[in-house]
Chain A
């Protein structure tokens, strides 16, 4: 069984919001109609986004770290938002595990958003239906696009490759390997929602240097003096070899 998901590397994310803007651009231009934008260039701008980047500061000055935290629907394997939907508009696809909303069936009761502990769902206040990350379902299967572009818009936009996309149920996939090898973890594991999206933690990269590696102990030029000069009277190669 396939479970498509994102793996987000917090060690690499620089908080540039390219994923946010590319997500908004792709998903506001799709068949489902535009995503709400209210006062975009005015006071108190607000709107519907599938993906947002937040920033946290961890630790105490001067020992602090800045963590940029991209946040979108986690496509839980046991999504609490799906069974509560009274109309069946909210569903999880069997074939690839993407959690979707059927905008034509949604009555806009907000109940699914209450049932999501992550706050991943946002109502479109113009269309009055619940919206959320679709993992760019209208893009990843589009055969008119070159194969390298059949990925979610956020993944393609990320300049630091902090976002990986793939099947977390396939142990050989890039995402599974990243989770396994770099300590990928789910958010709020205490609720048993089994989020498919994982986050890779901040990692310290360090190298151990020994004293003798800093000062070269084996400098042959200094130790042994200059290279010996050649004898000006000695024959050249040309003198002894005829071409």
Chain B
């Protein structure tokens, strides 16, 4: 497939935004249970603002993918069948909850909503946060399933696709949260940093698994089934256009195999070992700059990762275009 930068930015930016929001809720839940000292409200409101900014940037990027962005509102219609439609609903809904969550913290309005001997005491912001968690994971699943549901794009048609989207988004979000928390509390930095390392390692595991899986993929379609001629030696002589067509542009990345391979190693380096190293160094030295660098490096790596994700997918229609 031809990687579209609008989609690359959409998925990586909202992934980081979602991860950051999950980090904030983790912090609030830990503080609520008494495992951590309570944080200032502006820690959460500023964090939510940052998360919202990333989500908004992702949303803006997605509009560049559309031929008719003014009709984008129509895309909420087919949520019963289309994962893309579901994402279109889940993203603004999640953004709304992040906004409410940030606003409640900004206004420092956090009444106790229930609490009995049987149930632990729950505050309004925590409740909103829990709704946010549900929507956040819904959004991760929708984003991943857009690709995973296309069964003949065999590189994508695996549960590893939504899992990778979730874990990679969470790793970048928690790495960002680590850098963000240095402005507020050392304790939070440690918590987020630890989770960032755990999530990055988990993502390394699942992303490597999908790379290994895709390496041994057996394609179900061949030129024989594509044109229905059962002969081992079929050569294409013409492909129905002189100067190329949508079919020769949309489904081919147009780069050499060596380029593809180098992007793979670049993202494997930038998304996993380098941020892990920078996180480790940053956490032990309490150096904000190294932690910011860790996020920057990982985010850059994720752009390469997403580019590779699209470029690697081999659409069966390419069988009809043997010489592109």
Q: Residues on A close to B: CB < 8 A?
A: 20, 39, 43-49, 52-60, 66-67, 69, 71, 80, 82-89, 105-111, 113-119, 122-123, 125, 127-129, 185-191, 199, 201-202
Contact of A107 among B67, B150, B235, B320 (CB under 8 A): B67
What is the CA–CA distance of A80 and B316 in the complex, to the nearest angstrom? 13
Please tell me if the beta carbons of B251 and A119 are within 8 angstroms of each other in the complex.
yes
Of the stretches B76-84, B109-117, B194-202, the one at the interface is B76-84
**Among A45, A86, A114, contact of B243 (Cβ-Cβ < 8 Å):** A45
**Measured CA separation A199–B149 after assembly (Å):** 28
Q: Are B71 and A105 in contact (CB under 8 A)?
A: yes
Pairwise interchain contact A54-B226, C-beta atoms closer than 8 A: no
B67:A52 contact, CB within 8 angstroms? no
Asked whether any CB of chain A lies closer than 8 Å to the CB of B88, the reply is yes
Q: Which 8 A-B pairs have the closest CB atoms?
A: A108-B67, A119-B317, A128-B67, A52-B240, A44-B243, A86-B75, A83-B81, A86-B85
Q: Quick one: closest A residue to B235, CB to CB?
A: A57
**When A84-B149, A86-B82 are in contact, do A114 and B315 touch as well, CB less than 8 Å?**
yes
- Chain A contacts of B151 at CB under 8 A? 80, 191
Q: Which of A86, A107, A117, A199 meets B69, CB within 8 Å?
A: A107
Using an 8 Å CB-CB cutoff, how does the interface string of B157-195 with A read, 1 for contact, 0 for none? 000000000000000000000000000000000000000
How far, in angstroms, from A149 to B76 measured CA to CA in the complex? 40
Q: Could you say which residues of chain B place their CB within 8 Å of the CB of A114?
A: 1, 150, 153, 315
| B250 and A110 contact, CB distance less than 8 A | yes
Chain A residues near B78 (CB, 8 Å)?
83, 85-88
* Interface contact A57-B234, CB-CB below 8 Å: yes
Q: Are A109 and B244 in contact, CB atoms less than 8 angstroms apart?
A: no
In the complex where A83-B82, A187-B228 touch, is A109 in contact with B66 (Cβ < 8 A)?
yes
Given contacts A86-B77, A105-B71, A116-B317, contact A59 B240 (CB under 8 A): no
Cβ of B256 under 8 Å from chain A: no
Residues of A within 8 A of B208 (CB): none
A56: chain B residues at CB < 8 Å are 227, 229, 234-237
Which residues of chain B have C-beta atoms less than 8 A from A67's C-beta? 227, 229
B interface residue numbers (CB < 8 A to A): 1, 65-69, 71-72, 74-78, 81-85, 88, 146, 149-153, 220-221, 225-229, 231, 233-247, 250-251, 315-318, 320-321
- B227 pairs with A52, CB closer than 8 A: no
A128-B76 contact, Cβ under 8 Å, with A39-B243, A201-B228: no
A71-B240 contact, Cβ under 8 Å, with A56-B229, A109-B75, A122-B246: yes
B239-A54 in contact (CB<8A):
yes
Most chain A CB within a 10 A radius of its CB, from B153, B241, B318: B241
Q: A55-B238, A86-B78 are in contact. Are A44 and B244 (CB under 8 A)?
A: yes
Contact of A52 among B74, B83, B85, B241 (CB under 8 A): B241
Is B221 in contact with A117, judged by CB distance below 8 angstroms? yes
Q: A86-B76, A114-B315 are in contact. Are A129 and B67 (CB under 8 A)?
A: yes
Q: How far is the CA of A59 from the CA of B146 in the complex (A)?
A: 40
Taking CB atoms, residues of chain B closer than 8 Å to A119 are: 247, 251, 315, 317-318, 320-321
Contact check, B243 vs A43: say whether CB atoms are below 8 A apart. yes
Q: Is the pair A71, B83 in contact by a Cβ cutoff of 8 Å?
A: no
Interchain CA distance A229-B185 in the complex, whole Å: 131
> In the complex, what residues of A have CB within 8 A of residue B316's CB?
117-118, 188, 191
B residues in contact with A185, CB < 8 Å: 228
Return chain B residues, CB-CB under 8 Å to A128: 67-68
- Residues of B contacting A59 in the complex (Cβ-Cβ under 8 angstroms): 231, 233
Instruction: Please give me the residue from chain B that is nearest to A53 by CB atom.
Output: B240
In the complex the two chains form, what is the Cα distance from A186 to B225 in whole Å?
A: 9
Task: Flag if B83 contacts A84 (CB, 8 Å).
Answer: yes
Task: Kindly list chain A residues whose C-beta atoms are within 8 Å of the C-beta of B250.
Answer: 110, 113, 123
Cα(A190)–Cα(B85), bound, Å = 27
Contacts of B72 in A (CB 8 A): 107
Which residues on B sit within 8 Å (CB–CB) of A122? 245-247
Given the known A-B contacts A58-B234, A110-B250, are A117 and B245 also in contact in the complex, defined by CB atoms under 8 Å?
Answer: no
A49 touches B244 (CB 8 A): no
11 contacts between A and B (CB under 8 A): A52-B239, A54-B320, A84-B84, A85-B82, A107-B72, A110-B250, A117-B316, A123-B67, A127-B67, A187-B225, A191-B220
A185 vs B229: C-alpha distance when bound (angstroms) = 10
- Determine the chain A residues whose CB is within 8 A of the CB of B245 once the complex forms: 46-47, 49, 52, 122
- Select one of B74, B150, B246 contacting A105, CB under 8 A: B74
Which one of A89, A119, A128 has the highest number of Cβ atoms from chain B below 10 Å of its Cβ? A119
| Extra inter-chain contacts (18) besides given A87-B74, A87-B77, A109-B84, CB under 8 Å | A45-B243, A46-B245, A47-B245, A52-B239, A56-B229, A60-B233, A80-B151, A84-B83, A84-B84, A84-B150, A86-B77, A86-B78, A89-B74, A113-B250, A118-B320, A119-B317, A187-B226, A191-B221
Nearest-neighbour CB distance to chain B for A183, whole angstroms, equals 10
Alpha-carbon distance between A105 and B67 when the two chains are bound, in angstroms: 11
Cα A201 to Cα B225 with chains together (Å): 13
Identity of the chain A residue whose Cβ is nearest the Cβ of B86 in the assembled complex: A86
